[in-house]
Structures are given as C-alpha cells and as structure tokens.
Amino acid sequence: MTLNCNGKLINLGEPVVIGVINLTKDSFYSGSRLQNDNALIEKCKQMIQEGAQFIELGAQSTRPGSLRVSARDEVEVLLPAIQVILASIPGALLSIDTYHSEVAIQTIAAGAAMINDISSGEMDPAMIAAVATLSVPYVCMHMRGEPQNMQQHAGQGNIAEEVLSYFIEKKQECKNAGIKDLILDPGFGFGKNIHENFVLLQSLSLLKMLNCPVMAGLSRKSTIYKTLNTTPENALNGTTVLNTIALSNGAHILRVHDVKEAVETIQLWQAYSKTKTPRL
C-alpha cells in the first residue's frame, strides 16, 4: 500500500508513525499541547528525528464533552503553524485534524499533505467532495454522535459489526467521490466504552477485507488509564502494549504522542514477526 502525499509516495509495506501535536489548551493530554513557535518547531524536529513519518496538527480538542470550534478559528491557528513548520522543516508531511471542509482546503493549499476527519464527512457534508478535489490522503474515522455527546451512545449494539458495516459504506462513498487514498480509523474511545474498545482491538483484523490502510489511535486514552487506574500522563506503558496488539491485528499506522516509543514498538514487533521458529 502507498499514499500519495503532495507527490511524495509513502510506502505502508511497513508500519509508520504519526506524531500528534495539539495547538489547543483543551487537549486531554498535557504533553501534546504546544502554543509557541519555538516549542512547535523543536517538537516537530524531535518527532521527525525519532522516526515520525507525519506530524499531525489539531486546533481543537475532540475529547468527550468538548465543544465545537469554528472553521475560522481553526484556520487562524493552523495556517501560521503550517507556515512556521514548513519554513524550518521543508518537506515535512503535515496531517491536519479537522472536520471542516474549509479548513481542509486552506491548510492543504498552505502545504499540508493529509486530512484526518473524526467524523468521516458526517459533521460537514462538503468534506468528502472537498478532499477528492484536493487529491490528498483522507483518514475516515468511526464515531458515534459528536464529541460533545458521543459517550452517550457507548454500549449500543455489536461494535465490531457496526464499524465494519460503516466502513464498507464509507469506502464506497469516498470512492464514488474520487478519493484515491483512504485510511480507516476505527475510532477508539469515540462513542465506545472500555469493553467495546477492547472488542474493537480484538476485531481489528476484520478491516483487512476492505484493502485500505488502518490507523490505530490508542495513545494515552481513557481505556488505558482507567483500566490501570492512573492518568494520561502515566499511560505510556499501557499505550505501548495496546499498540503492539494493534500491529499484530493489522494496523498500518500508529497515531501517537510518543514517537520514539512507538517506533521502537514497531521495530521489535517486526523483529518478532520475521523470526522463523526452528523445527523441533
């Protein structure tokens, strides 16, 4: 599998890492919040040096209970950040976390290379058509409801069957619109309870039948820190464990706050997977 990112082909024959940077004070994990140019540039350089293939920028929180931020407010934050990063790190591949089509259009024009939409076009019906005209990879995520009310929908129905059926339809919709590079994200934590998140992780390999790259966004989420009775700040070890399981079940992309540890997870998982057991 490959992704065409502004003319640069990214090979997904081996798993890759997306490093997350939040340009908002409302992110659930304090370690991903950056709000000055020097810190932003240094964090991007660090993530790329550690092995991140993409840097993802978000200008609003999508944690449970968060409120919508307008497209105008997102653009005012994202465009200067893109300009600063690309001026210091030419060629950096930037993914933009947004569900606004206007934000997608303006950020790609500014030099970003991919759009990650938590709503898969549900929160802005113009998004899928817009991404098709932009000719960039598009991350479709499964979410029940919207961030401000999504946890009210948790525990309803067979989550594995629901996610698979959703992506079968969404893939066809994106194909019909003209999107060529589609990435599927099952949306861990977005309208799912802890039990459903573990079921979804166990069932991740079902998405292989759709022949699209699969992204796992488990980093420091509540399924980890609530199960371990800890905090997001102390959920790195648990993140590594679940990322390993995700890789074993077919994930092509890990979306993380901690790039070095995710890259090492991939390296060890690959070494393990390629090891041939001698006959006894």
* Rounded Cα distance, 43 and 213, in Å: 26
Strands (DSSP E) found in 12-165:
16-22, 54-58, 94-97, 114-117, 138-141
**Active-site choice (255, 260, 276, 279):** 255
Q: What is the pLDDT of residue 237?
A: 97
6, part of any domain? no
207-255 residue pLDDT tens:
999 999 999 999 999 999 999 999 999 999 999 999 999 999 999 999 9
For the entire predicted model, the pTM comes to: 0.92
Tell me, yes or no, if 72 is annotated catalytic.
Answer: no
Tell the residue number behind the tokens 């994200």, with chain if given.
Answer: 185
277, part of any domain? no
What is the number of structural domains in the chain?
Answer: 1
Helices (H), 71-158: 71-88, 101-109, 127-134
Tell me, yes or no, if 226 is annotated catalytic.
Answer: no
Report whether pLDDT(134) > 70: yes
Q: What is the pLDDT of residue 138?
A: 98
* Residues in a beta bridge with 95: 56, 114
Mean pLDDT score of the chain: 91
Gap between the terminal Cα atoms of the chain: 36
Residue pair 48/85 in contact by the 8 Å Cβ criterion? no
Q: What three-state secondary structure class fits 92?
A: coil
51-93 residue pLDDT tens:
999 999 998 866 666 577 899 999 999 999 999 999 999 999 9
Percent of the chain topping pLDDT 90? 81
194, part of any domain? yes
* Rounded Cα distance, 38 and 85, in Å: 10
Report whether pLDDT(277) > 90: no
- Please give the average per-residue pLDDT across 34-43, as a whole number: 83
90, part of any domain? yes
- Please give the average per-residue pLDDT across 249-266, as a whole number: 98
276, part of any domain? no
Q: What is the pLDDT of residue 35?
A: 62
Residue in 37, 40, 74, 72 with CA at minimum distance from that of residue 55: 40
Q: What is the CATH number of the domain that holds 53?
A: 3.20.20.20
Could you count the other beta carbons within 10 Å of the beta carbon of residue 280? 3
106-125 residue pLDDT tens:
999 999 999 999 999 999 99
Print the domain residue range for 160: 15-268
**Active-site choice (33, 68, 221, 260):** 221
Q: Which of 4-8, 149-153, 190-194 shows the lowest per-residue confidence on average (mean pLDDT)?
A: 149-153
